[in-house]
Amino acid sequence: MKKALFVIDMQEICVGKNHADFFNYEENLVEKVNNVIDKNKEEVFVVYIRNVMKKNLINKLAPFHAYDGSPEAALAENLHKVSDLVFDKYTGDAFTNERLKDFLKTNNITCIEIVGVDGGGCVSATALGAIENGYTVILNTAAIGTTDNKKFQKKRDKYFQMLKERGAEFI
């Protein structure tokens, strides 16, 4: 089984020193994600997924902004960067990026392990996308953050139940 580690949305806007107020994760989340990266960097492809926004009227009204090329959209400064494999997405599911899907196919990846943020959003949406595209999915819950917003925590619980039912593994 050939595996890739997806590091989802670990960007300045979400987990950086000056993250948006909307995102409130446990203080040592980046350290936990770094531990998983360090443990896997020799054995698997480490793939970074960034959530970026297009400059349009709707996004200008959003409570935070992470436009491509902006400091907010950059990978978090204290995140361990062990590869140049960075793919952008404009929706929750990273599998909307055709370049990412081509990369996985070209490299015969069959299993995706996921860490990052947010358990009630992009992490779960990408996990579902991976399953729908035929991948084995592992969610490393020790390194998945969910904001302290109750709505996102309920969504995470719903998503995780759905993912379990569809065969995702939780470690």
Q: What is the DSSP string of 19-38?
A: --TT----TTHHHHHHHHHH
Neighbours of 9 (CB within 10 A): 27
- The domain containing residue 48 runs over which residues? 4-170
Residues 27-44 pLDDT 10s? 899 999 999 999 999 999
pTM (2 d.p.) = 0.93
The CATH number of residue 145's host domain is: 3.40.50.850
**DSSP letter, residue 107:** T
Q: How many domains does the chain have?
A: 1
Neighbours of 91 (CB within 10 A): 13
Tokens of 43: 């054995």
Q: Where are the alpha helices (DSSP H) in 78-149?
A: 98-106, 122-132
Cα 109 from Cα 101, distance rounded (Å): 10
Nearest to 143 by CA among 3, 46, 30: 30
Sheet holding 111-117, edge to edge: 86-89, 45-51, 3-8, 111-117, 136-145, 169-170
pLDDT in tens, the chain (171 residues): 899 999 999 999 889 988 877 788 988 999 999 999 999 999 999 999 999 877 766 656 665 667 688 888 899 999 999 999 999 999 999 999 999 999 999 999 999 999 999 999 999 999 999 999 999 999 999 999 999 888 889 999 999 999 999 999 999
